[in-house]
Chain A
Amino acid sequence: MTNDQATKMGFWERNRLSGGYLLRSRIGNVLFKICRAILLFGLCFLILQPLLNKLSISLMEERDLYDSTVISIPRHLTLNNYSVVNELMSYWQSTLRTFLMCTVISLFQVASCTLAGYGFARFKFPFKSFWFFCVMLVIVVPPQTILAPLYLNFRFFDILGIFRLTTGAPLNLIEHGLAGILILSITGMGLKSGLYIFMLRQYFRGVPPELDEAALVDGCGRLRTFVSIMLPDAMPMITSCFLFSFVWMWTDSLYTSLFLRGYNVLSSVLGSLAERLMEYYMRIYTTAAPIGYTQMIIATGMLISLLPLILLYLFAQRAFVESLSQTGIKM
């Protein structure tokens, strides 16, 4: 029997010839696909549900919360919550400030991590494995463990006693806006820096070394090799690291509460939203804000602080993940 004849035969004919195997495998396949679709739908819903829930709550009026017939579709549609949150958080201002802060910090962080990652991937130098062990240590040690000394060191910041000698007192970097966190980012000790160093090193190790050697033979210096050959190639990976750093910095509360006190970025404003609402309520109604309403406002606040990130994710989803999955992370 030739291939041509086989394709002309009907499904049942072929099934008969295979002894029922074709039908069984077809049914198995379809069942598997249905199960997979149900499972995926369920899991996707599980992930999206809190977002949708917040969206529906944020559009409700307060009385809808206590109305047991209202579950997810608000009866009294209103945008009131948004305007209240906008006022309490001074949303546009905080967002702009957060955006600038995250961009600057992530740029510095990615720059230092790229340098370190390239250095670890390409050059042989004494104590290399020791320094790489230090990178691992940076990944593993939670920042909370060194929080107190870090805080105190930045509270009384000094480089080998120079400031104490010249100005009589060490600098107080805690009150100086971005300074403390910038120093950390430039020196590769920012939020999750170890992870980015590791990722970038993994990437640079995958680039064939013949590329460097060819450049060297042609008389290209090491710095220039890095700037004009390696960097353009690594752009997707660097973008990916930048995006991660940006997103995690946006929602971070540890470093912002430590170094950016009184510098109202979104995460700190969001953290104190309940207190702000309480004050606002006290001023206007001279009573405490009801718990349900507070939660409603917090849900709205979370939603609009996440909104820029979700938009970013929608447009740059590929950059987020695809380049990361290309590195082939191994230990």
Chain B
Amino acid sequence: MKKEKEKYRLTLADKNAITGYFFILPFIIGFISFMFFPMVQSIMMAFSEVKIDLDNHRFSMTFNYLANFKRAFLEDRDFNRIFIEEMGRMFVIVIPVIIFSFFVALILNQKFRGRGIARALFFLPIILSSGIMVGLETSNSLLSGMSTLIQESNDLRSSVTGVLQNILMTDEESAVNDFMTYIFLMVDQVYTIAMSSGIQIVIFLSGLQTISPSMFEAAYIEGATKWESFWKITFPMVSSLILVNVVYSVVDYCVRTDNAVMVKIRDSLMQSMEYGFSMSMAWIYFVAVMALLGIASLIISKRVYYYDE
């Protein structure tokens, strides 16, 4: 009798496993009921027509193959346009955000007077550029009206960037020209970039602070200049965070309230009640973004240096 009892006693590992499941139980319930099933349903909705039956308190789906996707790509007036535009704009925002936040983190990691104030200001966008504030900011037609007025009144010749653009851009089509257009697009977006790189700066800063100063000391004694120790120490040590930041920026960009694709998805959901159509658009966008993210993280993770390994 006693022996049998011992046989079925839980080991320490079993107890740990049970406690572990106890701790993540809320998450598991939430994930299954509010993430997994909705995801399955939304895929099904994307392939079907959704009808709401208020009398019987339920909704029904009729399978209609690729009709929603066809409508998005072939019939809808603006989906193709805004889809391509938003994918392009993602590049114009995400890559500069990474560079900008790395640069700012480098500066904020140095010691100077007023560092506390500068840090507080650079983290302010975490609050200012969230949720509804972004959407309202861009739809602020007074400001945008002003900026078009300014652009009209002083054409390309009178502003600094305009002059530079005139000098650097040649008329014929070339790779250099395309590159320059990209650079100028980034310069024009500098406000958006600064506003959407709050968390990224924090992440890079946390990486910079974990580098032990003795490394720099050793390099300095060996005669390395600051430039060399930046490329040989600082950059490799935080390179693993580039991937984290790319993922975060892309995801953050996707859910921004001023993202035209998201606005369209939401409008067709909330206003015209076309559940199937809006879900098919959401999946097109999501899959495209995930594919891009996958390629990007493959490329980056090959070049990243991990200190622990």
Contacts and interface: CB of A to CB of B under 8 A. Distances in A.
Contacts, number: 263
Interface residues of A, number: 96
Interface stretch (B71-79, B134-142, B167-175): B134-142
A140 B251 contact: yes
A20 interface: no
Contacts of B22: 119
Interface in A286-331: 291-292, 295-296, 298-299, 302, 306, 309-310, 313-314, 317, 320-321, 324-331
Contacts of A118: 23
Interface in B177-227: 190-191, 194-195, 202-203, 205-207, 209-210
Contacts of B123: 317, 320-321
A95 interface: no
Given A39-B107, A141-B39, A253-B257, A189 B34 contact: yes
B122 interface: yes
Given A124-B13, A295-B142, A306 B132 contact: no
A329 B206 contact: yes
B26 A296 contact: no
Contact of A251 (B58, B133, B195, B205): B133
Contacts of A57: 142
Given A145-B282, A222-B19, A306 B128 contact: yes
Interface stretch (B80-88, B90-98, B154-162, B265-273): B265-273
B272 to A, nearest CB: 12
Contacts of A313: 120, 124, 127
A187 B29 CA distance: 7
Given A36-B112, A134-B35, A51 B128 contact: yes
A7 to B, nearest CB: 22
Interface string B268-284: 01100001001100110
Given A116-B26, A120-B24, A141-B39, A47 B254 contact: no
A330 to B, nearest CB: 6
B104 interface: yes
B7 interface: no
Interface of A: 33, 36-37, 39-40, 43-44, 46-48, 50-51, 53, 57, 65, 112, 115-116, 118-120, 122-126, 128, 131, 134-135, 137-153, 156, 164, 169-170, 183-184, 186-189, 197, 222-223, 226, 244, 247-248, 250-254, 257, 267, 270-271, 291-292, 295-296, 298-299, 302, 306, 309-310, 313-314, 317, 320-321, 324-331
Contacts of A36: 107, 110, 112
19 contacts: A47-B125, A119-B20, A125-B16, A125-B18, A125-B20, A144-B282, A152-B59, A153-B34, A222-B15, A248-B130, A252-B132, A253-B135, A270-B132, A321-B202, A324-B202, A327-B206, A328-B206, A329-B206, A330-B244
Given A146-B41, A271-B135, A296-B142, 12 more contacts: A36-B110, A44-B121, A47-B125, A53-B143, A116-B24, A131-B31, A134-B35, A140-B247, A140-B293, A142-B251, A251-B133, A326-B206
Contacts of B234: none
Contact of A123 (B20, B107, B135, B190): B20
A148 B133 CA distance: 24
Interface of B: 13, 15-24, 26-31, 33-35, 37-39, 41-42, 45, 50, 52, 57-59, 104, 107, 110, 112, 118-128, 130-133, 135-137, 140-143, 190-191, 194-195, 202-203, 205-207, 209-210, 240-241, 243-244, 247, 251, 254-255, 257, 262, 265-266, 269-270, 275, 278-279, 282-283, 286, 290, 293
B24 A257 contact: no
Please give me the 4 A-B residue pairs with the lowest Cβ-Cβ distance, nearest first: A187-B30, A123-B20, A119-B23, A251-B131
Contact of A47 (B131, B135, B194, B279): B194
Nearest to A170: B57
Contacts of B107: 36, 39-40
A328 B210 contact: yes
B35 A251 contact: no
A245 to B, nearest CB: 11
Contacts of A150: 34, 38
Contacts of B41: 146, 149, 153
B30 A306 contact: no
Contacts of A122: 20, 23
B130 A247 contact: yes
A235 to B, nearest CB: 18
Contacts of B126: 244, 247, 320
Query: Which of B19, B203, B210, B275: most chain A CB closer than 10 A?
Result: B19
Contacts of A149: 37-39, 41-42, 45, 279
A141 B243 CA distance: 17
Contacts of A326: 206
A170 B58 CA distance: 9
